[in-house]
Amino acid sequence: MPDTLDKSQTDLDARIDQLLGTGGRTFLATSVGGNSSGASVFYARDGDDLLFFTFNPTRKAEQIRVNPRVQLVVWPDGQHGIRGLQIDGFCSRIRDAREVEVAKEKILKVTDAFEDYMNDEFLSRNNVTGYYRVRPSTIKYIDFHADPQFEWKEYPHNVPGVLRQAASTLSSRLLLWLRALRAPFFTATLVPVLLGGILAWRQLFIAGLDFDWTLFWLCLGGALCAQAATNLANDFGDHISRNDEINQTPSPFNGGSRVIQAGLLEPWKVLAAALFFFGLCVACGLYINLLVGGSLLAPTPLLWIGLAGVLLGAAYTLGPWRLSYEGMGEIAIALGFGPIMVLGAHYVLTIPVAGAWHWLEPAVVSLPVAILVLLIVWINQFQDAPADYKSGKHNWVVRLAHNSGGFDYHSPFQWYVALNVMAFVLVGSIALLPLVTPIGTAWAFLALLPALLLPRSIARGWDWISRADNESVDWRRHPYELLPVNVTTIGIHLLTGLLLITAYGLDTVAG
């Protein structure tokens, strides 16, 4: 009996091996949260594993990162619908450099259709291309003219343990929602709230009064909820307008989070999450208003500041008058992540203790932060401009750059340079104000240091624009070459904000 079983298993192995050897192309199915996807890919064999090459921003690759469970169907030509394989397994991107070279060599023996992309160092360096390995958990051999028609070969060693699968699922879902919220960009909220907080602490410290940490955390939490809601609403709004679908050159800095386009979250879930976070923001704001004003709807400045912030966030892309589509988005961003957050935090933290609100200094200090956060959105719109124009999103980069011949980025980049100069002139003014007024701090000169990053960033920008004028430029690659300027713009906002916060901290301690 054992000899019969061994012979049967050996025979099945040979039949599976024969079908895999005559294939070379497979249908790959992936799924996340009810969003399924299918794609035809060329495969190469590495023992029992299957290897394939693809582009990392594709829907299948995005879904594999969240849910590595895949199914493949191999139905070679000439079988006339009789014999085939159905493979269940776990897929992962190959990271080891030596394994990548092995995968590349094996796949090129199957097909050279993607050889140019495989050899493109720019695509590889910018994480656009990748190699993937499928480790089978089960291979079902199908032969409709045989008895039995279905036979299985299992690979238990390729199946992760239950606890490992549970941990992987939980972590992938957490990372997915952090991506949808665009959590790395929460620095846009942290800077103004911390700036309002340090100004409040300075005022209270000088007066010998205590700083209320409970109110601070409530304020920060409410502000973060406001940004999370705005980010989610922006993704949903740009999906409805088809803006993000049209955009063929997304990156971590432009084109939205892509969770809808990649089939990672259904649109209704993104909208529901946006409404949930708007609700949390409103709840935090009303509770704070109760603490500082005596009732939930007390007509305090906080009530009107908070209302303005929520309306700006919701109207940015959702409408009914979509600010980002009507050339008002840049103003909304500057107000929301500048004066509204700085003044709101300062009011909340001073008025219950000090009994008076000195709003002039936080209003002045918020201005360079407002301009610098506006510039993050401004420079990100350069790569998005073609898709924005097609979807009717007429922001100011589109308005300034678009003409009958296409896009000329000289004018919007001149504004980018001028606004950066204006921001650092304001920082310098804050450092000089103590000479003539009781506000400001000479320590603000520290916050001029990030301006040292500007010359190189501006030079890169002008170089990008000059090459954009060339008719032979490859627009599949060119948008990614602006990424260093995107990164520098974010860094300048964060560093300048943190140094302004540090300046007021030093001024208080040293004063």
Statement to judge: residues 141 and 185 lie in one domain:
no
Predicted local confidence at residue 81, as pLDDT = 64
Q: What is the CA radius of gyration of the chain?
A: 28
Find all residues with CB under 8 Å of 429, minimum gap 6, and list them: 440
Predicted local confidence at residue 5, as pLDDT = 41
Residue 322 has pLDDT above 90, yes or no: no
Q: How much of the chain, in percent, has pLDDT values that exceed 70?
A: 97
| pLDDT grade for 463, boundaries at 50, 70 and 90 | very high
Would the CA dihedral through 50, 53, 56, 62 be positive or negative? negative
Statement to judge: residues 264 and 137 lie in one domain:
no
Instruction: Summarize pLDDT for 359-404 with one digit per residue, the tens.
Output: 999 999 999 999 999 999 999 999 999 899 999 999 999 999 998 7
In a domain, residue 313? The reply is yes
What does the pLDDT average to over 162-168? 93
What one-letter code names the amino acid at 431?
Answer: A
More confident residue, 386 or 2: 386
Mean pLDDT over the full length of the chain: 92
| pLDDT grade for 80, boundaries at 50, 70 and 90 | low
Statement to judge: residues 143 and 194 lie in one domain:
no
Predicted local confidence at residue 39, as pLDDT = 95
Tokens of 463: 């170089």
What does the pLDDT average to over 113-126? 90
Statement to judge: residues 112 and 193 lie in one domain:
no
DSSP labels, 14-64: HHHHHHHHH--EEEEEEEETTEEEEEEEE-EEETTEEEEEEETTSHHHHHH
Boundary residue ending a domain (159, 191, 208): 159
pTM for this prediction: 0.89
| CB distance 233 to 313 below 8 Å | yes
DSSP state of 135: E
Q: What CA–CA distance (Å, rounded) separates 496 from 437?
A: 22
Statement to judge: residues 119 and 63 lie in one domain:
yes
Statement to judge: residues 96 and 209 lie in one domain:
no
User: CATH number, domain at 75?
Assistant: 2.30.110.10
In a domain, residue 168? The reply is no
What does the pLDDT average to over 240-258? 87
Closest to 393 in 3D by CA, of 486, 320, 321, 327: 327
In a domain, residue 170? The reply is no
| CB distance 478 to 409 below 8 Å | no
Statement to judge: residues 503 and 409 lie in one domain:
yes
Statement to judge: residues 149 and 220 lie in one domain:
no
Q: What CA–CA distance (Å, rounded) separates 326 from 442?
A: 40
Predicted local confidence at residue 144, as pLDDT = 86
Predicted local confidence at residue 1, as pLDDT = 41
* Other Cβ atoms closer than 10 A to 147: 5
Exposure string of 51-66, with b = 16+ CB inside 10 Å and e = fewer, is: bbbbebbbbbbbbbbb
Instruction: Summarize pLDDT for 216-227 with one digit per residue, the tens.
Output: 999 999 999 999
Any alpha helices (H) in 135-183, and if so which ranges?
Answer: 162-181
Mean pLDDT is lowest, of 16-20, 100-104, 369-373, 410-414, for 16-20
Q: What CA–CA distance (Å, rounded) separates 257 from 269?
A: 14
Statement to judge: residues 113 and 185 lie in one domain:
no
- CA atoms within a 13 Å half-sphere pointing along the CA-CB vector of 157: 2
| pLDDT grade for 354, boundaries at 50, 70 and 90 | confident
Mean pLDDT is lowest, of 48-52, 266-270, 329-333, 478-482, for 478-482
CA torsion, ordered 195, 200, 202, 204, to nearest 10 deg: -170
More confident residue, 78 or 426: 426
What does the pLDDT average to over 457-467? 95
Predicted local confidence at residue 404, as pLDDT = 77
| CB distance 420 to 375 below 8 Å | yes
In a domain, residue 445? The reply is yes
Predicted local confidence at residue 41, as pLDDT = 95
Mean pLDDT is lowest, of 153-162, 205-214, 215-224, 308-317, for 308-317
Boundary residue ending a domain (129, 159, 189): 159
| CB distance 272 to 72 below 8 Å | no
Boundary residue ending a domain (159, 184, 218): 159
Find all residues with CB under 8 Å of 468, minimum gap 6, and list them: 407, 409, 478
Tokens of 450: 């990030």
In a domain, residue 164? The reply is no
Residue with tokens 């002008």: 462
Helix, strand, coil distribution of the chain in percent, nearest 5: 65, 15, 25
What does the pLDDT average to over 202-207? 93
In a domain, residue 165? The reply is no
What does the pLDDT average to over 32-61? 94
Statement to judge: residues 303 and 443 lie in one domain:
yes
Statement to judge: residues 97 and 193 lie in one domain:
no
Find all residues with CB under 8 Å of 43, minimum gap 6, and list them: 23, 24, 25, 26, 50, 51, 52, 72, 107, 110, 134
Residue 21 has pLDDT above 90, yes or no: no
| CB distance 44 to 107 below 8 Å | yes
State how many domains the chain has: 2
Statement to judge: residues 391 and 471 lie in one domain:
yes
Instruction: Summarize pLDDT for 336-346 with one digit per residue, the tens.
Output: 999 999 999 99
Predicted local confidence at residue 388, as pLDDT = 92
Q: What CA–CA distance (Å, rounded) separates 22 from 18?
A: 6
Q: Which domain holds residue 30?
A: 2-159
**Is 134 strand, coil or helix?**
strand
Residues in a beta bridge with 42? 25
**Is 243 strand, coil or helix?**
helix
| pLDDT grade for 117, boundaries at 50, 70 and 90 | very high
In a domain, residue 438? The reply is yes
Predicted local confidence at residue 8, as pLDDT = 64
CA torsion, ordered 227, 229, 231, 232, to nearest 10 deg: 160
Predicted local confidence at residue 319, as pLDDT = 72
In a domain, residue 307? The reply is yes
Residue 7 has pLDDT above 60, yes or no: no
Closest to 392 in 3D by CA, of 493, 317, 458, 284: 317
Residue 129 has pLDDT above 70, yes or no: yes
Q: How many residues does the chain have?
A: 511
